[in-house]
Amino acid sequence: MAVLHNRISQKELKQRLLQETEHRVTISFYQYFHIEDSKAFRDTLYKALKGLNVFGRIYVAQEGINAQISVPESNFEALKSYLYSIEPLKDLRLNIAVDDDGKSFWVLKIKVREKIVADGIDDSTFDMRNRGKYVNADEFNTLTEDPNTIVVDMRNHYEYEVGHFQNAIEVPSDTFREQLPMAAKMLDEAKDKNIIMYCTGGIRCEKASAYMLHKGFKNVFHLEGGIINYANQVKEAGLTNKFKGKNFVFDDRLGERITEEIIAKCHQCGKPADTHVNCFNEGCHLLFIQCEECKEKWEGCCSKECQDFIHLPQETQKELRKGIDKGRNIFNKSRARLRPKLSEIEKGAH
């Protein structure tokens, strides 16, 4: 019987990745479609992708699939052929990473979830088949020139902080499930305007567009393939790039450079910076932005307390870390934000 999960230590897997000589391609994709038996689909998928030496993180649920993976360049076409052989995934759009060193993942994990993106929706009348219209990069650029258009960022606050589209409004929250009702409330006076939702790769903004239509909005669009596909399209077609800064990604890179502009600041000294790091103290592991100078000064830590902690004996550190639940330990310097007025939204303020 085939082993359908990893049995090698994370440390060894990372070491193996670093020793690889062939370049890997980092890819993300998703598809909303009905899966009758999620567990069986997961196991079949695992065996096929393991055979192609695919690494990454994939969620499977009855509503579809959500994947961020890497594959050796020589296996890319075989991977594509396999995915396309699955009828609901035929001609699936594969988002190729923009700024990629091929070291984004080192193990394959495929998990069965209740949903491929946690949304908090428990309304049985909600229907993903009724979703907003796709727009490509060119259509997005044209539509954003219309003063009757509002661009909405459906990512978390720490993603928005390092990069976003010109005049896009932020829906200030830590989770997607919080964002959906918040976005509808923020825009409750704009039901007849053009609403364009966007996110990293398309999965969240596609569901958000369906939610907005469900809540009575009329003209809802979502950016096909998200920021990743947009960046590739503007580069290939020589279009104006309306995205500024860096695109946060949920793999070991923690970001891919879209433009050279740095629009965020170091959370410790305030200098321009947009590099996300996790606090070097394993008992903290806070996700925050740190410049190179502060990285050296604080030894990769977020505070003096954590810096002192990492210099304790290893056994003492292990003992003190016991029972600590880091949860979603993310730096957020302004959790309480005022609801923007519609007049400010239309001007691109937030």
Q: Could you give the residue numbers annotated as active site?
A: 199
Maximum distance among all Cα pairs of the chain, rounded to whole angstroms: 62
Residues forming a β-bridge with 244: 164
CA distance 163 to 298: 25
CA distance 244 to 260: 8
Q: Is the dihedral of CA 293, 299, 304, 305 positive or negative?
A: positive
Calculate the alpha carbon distances from 137 to 210, 240, 308 in Å: 20, 9, 48
DSSP 89: G
Reading the block at residue 176, the tokens are 């997607």
Give the up-direction half-sphere exposure of residue 276: CA atoms within 13 A in the CB hemisphere: 27
Q: Scan for tokens 């592991």, then name that residue.
A: 285
Contact 294, 302 (CB under 8 A): no
